[in-house]
Structure 1
Amino acid sequence: MAVPRPSLILLLGLLLGGFAAPASAAEVHNLRVWSSPDSTRAVLDLDEAVDYRIFTLADPERLVVDIDNVQAAGELPFDPDDGGVIERVRHGVRNGTDLRVVFDLKGKAEPQSFVLDPAGRYGHRLVIDLKPEGATTPTERVREAARAARNGKRDMIVAIDAGHGGEDPGAIGPGGTYEKKITLQIARELEQQINDSPGMRAVMIRTGDYFVPLRERYDRARQADADLLLSVHADAFRDFRVRGSSVYVLSRSGASSEAARLLAQSENEADLIGGVKLDRGDDMLSSVLLDLSQSAALEYSNDAAEQILQQLGSVGRRHRRNVERANFVVLRSPDVPSVLLEVGFISNPDDEKNLNTAAHRQRVATAIVGGVRNHFLRTAPQGTWIAANRSGQQHVVQRGDTLGVIAQRYQVSISTIRAANNINGDVIHPGAVLVIPTGS
């Protein structure tokens, strides 16, 4: 066999090098936009990590994103009706190899950006958050929602956290139902029923289809001076036959069961999927758990959880007959009692069907509110409306009830019921609880 001479080897290398295909550019294969009351998030889905730069331009307001050695796989979808502060999106080639994306804005906005590694069903992502100038902050929004008083006595504030949201769908049922959709629907039903109940006021942590980081969820509850945080979820399991509701509180040690540990691990990954830049160590938990105030909050949380779990038993099957404990990030507030509710298994076809029914969601909400009410009747402090009216009778509004019928039943005047329950007009909703003052 002849041995190739060095000159032939060099020539062969040059020829191969001359015909080698150039390195392929990365691709942006999708754009997703989510808007909330205080910010707009744009997410560019990528097939690999990238280098990029952003800058703003005025007259008109624009945000420009330059991404090195990247091309668009096609058109970047954008719906202006859901665009928040973004009015239009354009893109084109820059310098022959780079991609420029221009976001035309409706007004001035402060941008923040970061890249995310693959998590869940998502690959690499470039995340851009836009905060409109002068927008109401989450703190201002929740505090405004929490301001309420009845005859000088404050309401008990219930913060309602609809789990997941935005690009984090949560669990997905066999029929394609997204957990984030169900949790928001139940949260809205809870909001109405709580606001219809005398002595209570609801504050929504998430009001639409957008993502809120886990720590920010309990921070918003603290900003509202909430007396209780309810975090609403729908469970999932690989065995589709498993069904029923469960109630959880924070564990300061290990989980109460392996299932509880795995559930907490799954829920705590929401920040990675929803898009949170994690650039610091998690030293918060150790300091939080050393705070003596949390001991009282945990005891209070457990009492609320027990009352809610008992009421949920009247709606349908309970997956767990006792309150479970696990290390959920969303429950880590040092001073706001917090309960996580799994209202059913979205992975179970029957539970999924029920959760898609407005009547069932209303019954679930009524049971939860009933548990919260029972808890507050036992624990509401002096200075609250509930504490001042604890001795009065209560009436749960049924379909067909009117203020006149209720007044006649309890031998009180309609005006007395209106005054005691802060009702203007004659509209009352089924499931609402009316206090009937004694000695009226």
Structure 2
Amino acid sequence: MAELSRRQLLGASAGAMLLGAPKLALAASRNQFLAVRIWPAQAYTRITLESTEKINYKYFVLNNPNRIIVDIENANLNNVLNTITQKVQHSDPYIRNIRAGQKDDNTIRIVMELKSNINPQIFNLEPVSNFKHRLVMDLYPANGRVGEDPILALLNDMGVKSPTNTINNSSPYRQTAVPKRSNRRPVIMLDPGHGGEDPGAISPNGLQEKEVVLAIARETKKRLEALGYKVYMTRNEDVFIPLKVRTQKAQHVQADLFVSIHADSVNRPEPRGTGVYVLSERGASSEAARLLADSQNRSDTIGGVKMSNNREVNNVLMDMLQSQTITDSSRLARLVLNQLGKHNKIKNEINLANFVVLRSPDIPSILVETAFLSNPQDEALLRSTSFRKKVAQSIADGMKQYLSAAVLAQR
């Protein structure tokens, strides 16, 4: 065999490198999975796969037994995706188990074994906030109806009638228009902010807003029910609920009051205290209020919303802001803020901002920022069970004062 020169060897090596380059480039461009998260809830279970690149997928549903098969292209298994089986909780109402495997050199197959018939909604989300590309797999109960709108399931999980296109043209409180008080029980909707994929604000020590406000809302519900009111919650578990669905839920049960509960955060530790916000048609009362509203309104982007094709759900008449409702909201806000001032530093004025969850045209609505997670003193308060109970009692007492003078709409 002829002996190869050094130059020939180098040339051959370079050619081999060039021939191998496309394969190397292809491997480098493949999706790298960064996180797998599963959020089980009675309303629906959400699975998210986070990746460096947009995830190309196909899926199909099988029966007997019920399964969902998802094929992900241009991807390889890694240690992150291999943990998906361990992410399933025994208490998950919809998923029995999940497994992932390499179907072929270019495709990953995920098999979900289900506990019941499911209406899956699968879609991609673009990078936002601290998240990269995400594939979202929402598993809604099918309820025996093929093609049922999954957003309706979020409204129907409270056992009330389907929404209609009608809406009250007057505020639930009309002291001049209604001559005598109604004896019916007031209906209140409590809205613990964020949830599921959207943690809300996070303190330097890892305390999450979604956990704090859910605990406070549950305490508030107990106190309001002890007063004889009928109380609903937009969420009573760690689940993501779109902002407009929260307001639609209030309309759905014909709520008389809507209170959204949050915990504030800014990029410096000095600000602290409690604030109450009402909707402003003319803009925020301060730059801080505007920034806060922008932050809270991004929840849908972070949590991810696949909008419904159902006109009854999407068309919630958000542009019908009534001045009387805002006036009623301001009065409620003042009474609640006065009670909250007994337990933490407050600003004397009511804050104004354009929060999505406050845009119900005929339901007096307020947003309570209980304290600052970004402030060490306030964070310590928010960790305290006693402070959470005090906040809950303050909200309930303020609402009781408001309702004692309000005239409920005849329904």
The two structures, once aligned, show a CA RMSD in angstroms of 2.7
Which digits, 9 at most, give the CA deviation of each residue in 1:360-389, with x for residues without a partner?
Answer: 1111111111111111112133769xxxxx
| Residue 180 of structure 1: aligned partner | 210
| Residue 296 of structure 1: aligned partner | 324
TM superposition shift of 1:357: 1.3
Q: How does 1:160-309 map to 2 (within 5 A)?
A: 160-198=190-228, 200-277=229-306, 288-289=318-319, 291=320, 294-309=322-337
TM superposition shift of 1:239: 1.9
- For structure 1, which runs of at least 5 residues remain unmatched after alignment? 1-9, 146-151, 385-440
8 Å contact from structure 2 (residues 88, 95) kept in 1: no
TM-score, reference length from structure 1: 0.77
Distance 1:143 1:309, change over 3 A: farther
TM superposition shift of 1:288: 3.0
| Residue 120 of structure 1: aligned partner | 129
Distance in 1, matches of 2:308 and 2:119, equals: 21
| Residue 44 of structure 1: aligned partner | 49
SS in 2 for 1:353: helix
SS in 1 for 2:76: strand
**Number of positions where the alignment pairs a residue of Structure 1 with one of Structure 2:** 365
Which digits, 9 at most, give the CA deviation of each residue in 1:18-64, with x for residues without a partner?
Answer: 13124122123332111222211111111110211111111111001
| Residue 378 of structure 1: aligned partner | 405
Which digits, 9 at most, give the CA deviation of each residue in 1:208-235, with x for residues without a partner?
Answer: 0111011111111110110111100000
TM superposition shift of 1:138: 3.1
Does 2:95 correspond to 1:66?
no
7, 12, 37: which is aligned to 1:32?
A: 37
Distance in 2, matches of 1:12 and 1:352, equals: 62
Distance in 1, matches of 2:250 and 2:407, equals: 18
SS in 1 for 2:222: helix
Distance in 2, matches of 1:330 and 1:47, equals: 32
Distance 1:254 1:382, change over 3 A: closer
Distance 1:221 1:279, change over 3 A: closer
Distance 1:364 1:19, change over 3 A: same
TM superposition shift of 1:143: 5.1
Distance in 2, matches of 1:79 and 1:36, equals: 12
- Give aligned-pair identity as a percent: 36
8 Å contact from structure 1 (residues 175, 349) kept in 2: no
8 Å contact from structure 1 (residues 139, 224) kept in 2: no
Does 2:84 correspond to 1:54?
no
Does 2:343 correspond to 1:315?
yes
Which digits, 9 at most, give the CA deviation of each residue in 1:150-197, with x for residues without a partner?
Answer: xx9321111000001111111111221100000000000011000001
Distance in 1, matches of 2:274 and 2:225, equals: 24
TM superposition shift of 1:118: 1.1
Does 2:383 correspond to 1:356?
yes
Q: Quick one: which amino acid aligns to residue 231 of structure 2? A: A
Distance 1:260 1:106, change over 3 A: same
| Residue 400 of structure 1: aligned partner | none
TM superposition shift of 1:286: 11
SS in 2 for 1:336: coil
Does 2:18 correspond to 1:17?
yes
